Every structure is written in C-alpha cells, then in structure tokens.
Amino acid sequence: MITLNNQSTNGKRGLTASVAGKLAIAALLVAAQPAFAEDQKAVPKQLAAVGSLKIDNLSVAKAPPVDAKRFYVIDPGHFNMTSQTYVMGANDNKLQMHGLIDGGKLPHVMSSPKFVGMANTTYDRIAHGKRDDYVRLHDPQTLEAVADIDIPEIRFLTGLMERTASLSVDDKYMLIQQFSPSSGVGLVDLEAKKYVKTMPVPDCYHVFPAAKQNFFMHCRDGSLLQVTYDNQGNSKQKNTKVFHAENEYLHNNPYYSNSAGRLVWPTYEGKIFQAKLSDSGAEFLKPIEIFTDKEKKDKWGPGGWQPIAFHKERNEIYLLADQRAKWTHKLPSRFVVVADGTTGKRLRRIDLKHAIDSIAVTQDKNPTLIAASIEHKIIYTFDAIGGKQLASMDEMGKAPQIIVTMDK
C-alpha cells in the first residue's frame, strides 16, 4: 500500500490533489525508483518534487490496525468492469484514507478483523470473453492478497446489494448467492481455501448468517428460509412464518449484524420490520412505523441506495429519508431519522444538508454516521448523536455506493 503521509481531512478537503491522482503518481514513482537509485544526479529537477510529495518521503506503509472506526467504501463505477474499494477511517473526528483495493465487476466486500473479504468477477477480454469468478482475502493492514480462491461463475451480478454474499458468523466460510441458472448459495471454505459446493435453495434472496453454520434468506412469499449446512455443504431447510404482506415492498439493502443476528428492514413507505436470527430460528419483533400519519400525508419516506443503519448498543435505527414522490425510493435523501429500535419512538432528526445515497454507523460508544453521495462523489461523517458534520472527502472515484463498517 502506498501512503502519502497518512492524508486526512476534517471538513474541507486537505489534499492538494485528488486521492486517486496522488496514489497513481506514487505508484509511478515507486516503479521508477530503481532507475533513480542508479543515478540520483540524473533526476530532473521537475521530478524531484510533485506538489508536496518528495521522492525521499515516499514509503510503503501499513494501514493502522483495524478498530471500530474502520470502514470501506465500494465504488463499482456505473456497472464498470473494474472497481475500487476505499479503505478508510473516522478517528479523531477526521476522515483518513488508508489505501484502496482494486476489484472486478460489482464486487462484494466483507469486513472482518482478520481480513477484507472480496468476491470478484472479471473477464479475459475486459468487457467480454471468458468469465472468471473468484474470492480474495486481503490483509487489513498491508492490503495485500493473502488468499485467492477460484469459484464457479455463480455470482449474482446486479446493482450492489450488500447481502447477496456474506461471511459466516465465525469468518470461516463465505456464502455467495447464485441466481442463474438456478437458485443456490455457494459455500467457500476460507480456512481450507477451496470452493466446497453450491447448495440448492428455493427462489429466495439475500444471505443473513447465524451461529452454528446457519443462514437465512428472504423468500418471495414473505417468509425467511433457514438453512443449516455442514462442512461438505449438505443442508437442511425450513421456512419461517410469513412476516410481511405482498404489497409491503422492502428495500434491497437492509441492515444486518452477523454478531448480533439483528435484521432491520424498511419498506418503501417507512415501516420497519425486524427480526433476531439465531440457530434456533427467527424471532420477529413488532413492526415500527417511523413516520406519523401527518408525515406520510406530507410524503415523507425513506430513500437512497443504502438507506438503513443500526447501532447495536444504543438500540437505535437510522433511516435515510426525505419528502418524496412515490417510486422515488432509490433517489438520495437529505435527512436521517433516528428512532428507538424497540418502541419506534422518534429520538432525533439529523439534517445532513447534502443529497445522500448511502449511510452507515460505526459501532463504538461515540458512533460516527457515515454518508456517501454518489452524484457528488463525496464521503461525509457526522456525530451520530449530536448530528454535527465532522469531516468530508471529495473526488471519491466515480460512484461511491456502499459503505461497509466493522460489525465486531
């Protein structure tokens, strides 16, 4: 990983050039260093310094150890054939850029204290040709690949949905949804570094892992499918009760915590369905109506690509919302409504003052609300309790879309 003096910003951009540009310059200079070393006197003066970057300041460093403020921003472009995942931190009320990881088309990125897991797809002729799906594990500090596992070409290539691939609760397996030619979930043994099996499932979507090698999926009839699997990929399946009606449409990107088994899932109108998932089954909580009748008449509703977050210890739901017309639930919003996760009581409303597509919340005692604007290519951070904007970083690639925080 190339680091440029651990660059950060605390509200206004603190970089003299774009992050991507400096990383590219740094990579170029590193590649050229052997030639410079042979004859330092031959280095043209104009190359001795690039802005504030000096050749003798260049170093290959590690990102800091993973903590609760670490997060990842996935930038798939706009269905581009390659992607970037920004490795970031939100310590000291600032934004830190620790590095980036290159990926393939529409990658799934999963966080663990041990590694960064990525499910990737590439083609041997860039945009066409033979398809290759694979899993890579990256060291969370050097960002170097520590495992590369070939898998069948099963990944569900659609607009980024965080939970169509997941790590198991113990981080030993990766579970990858297959959409075509038939419904299934691929089982990848990360310790043995091998693909085990594609487990057949009905027409169900998303993967929510639970303890003792279980996972749940959402099925078309409004129930959850519970799947128990062994190390060879043999599975047993059963459905829960139907927990929502057919006309209660759910957003594509719910919140789920592997460590807590907490599922928080908003409808297009702002009704929140919740469940606690474990190897014993699904415990459905009483649904919450986030908006009052008056607010609904005033056309308040959730909206964005990643519109829901949850703080486990504080038991708080964060919903990205705005006044909007029907069927605009994928468009950005300006506000975050915070409610108690049990009673649904409104706790506060945060005015982000920006059009935001995706939100996430860190899980520490002083949580940070992270917000991404795809159109403006900016990442913002806010005090999740007080609502004050803390920092921002612009020129974030092409389309910073999904935010992945540390769950444990």
Task: List, for residues 274-321, the tens digit of each pLDDT value.
Answer: 999 999 999 999 999 999 999 999 999 999 999 999 999 999 999 999
Q: What superfamily in CATH does domain 247-407 come from?
A: YVTN repeat-like/Quinoprotein amine dehydrogenase (2.130.10.10)
Torsion angles phi and psi, residue 349, rounded to 5? -130, 130
What pLDDT does 408 receive?
A: 85
Give the 3-state secondary structure percentages of the chain, helix then strand then coil, rounded to 5.
Answer: 10, 45, 45
pLDDT digits 0-9 by tens, 163-217: 999 999 999 999 999 998 999 999 999 999 999 999 999 999 999 999 999 999 9
pLDDT digits 0-9 by tens, 223-278: 999 999 999 999 999 999 999 999 999 999 999 999 999 999 999 999 999 999 99
Query: Greater confidence, 31 or 328?
Result: 328
Residues 388-392, mean pLDDT to the nearest whole number: 98
- Percent of the chain past pLDDT 70, that is, above it, reads 86
Is there a contact between 164 and 91 (Cβ–Cβ < 8 Å)?
no
Q: Does pTM top 0.75 for this prediction? A: yes
Cis preceding-peptide flag for 34 (omega within 30 of 0): no
pLDDT digits 0-9 by tens, 28-61: 444 444 444 444 555 555 555 555 555 666 777 8
CATH topology of domain 87-242: Methylamine Dehydrogenase; Chain H (2.130.10)
Name the residue among 349, 311, 345 with its Cα closest to residue 333: 349
Calculate the alpha carbon distances from 294 to 37, 101, 298, 383 in Å.
70, 46, 6, 28
Residues 141-159, mean pLDDT to the nearest whole number: 96
- For 103, residues 6+ apart whose C-beta sits below 8 A from its C-beta are 82, 83, 84, 85, 109, 118, 120
- For 269, residues 6+ apart whose C-beta sits below 8 A from its C-beta are 291, 296, 301
Domain map of the chain by residue range? 87-242, 247-407
* pLDDT above 90 (res 135): yes
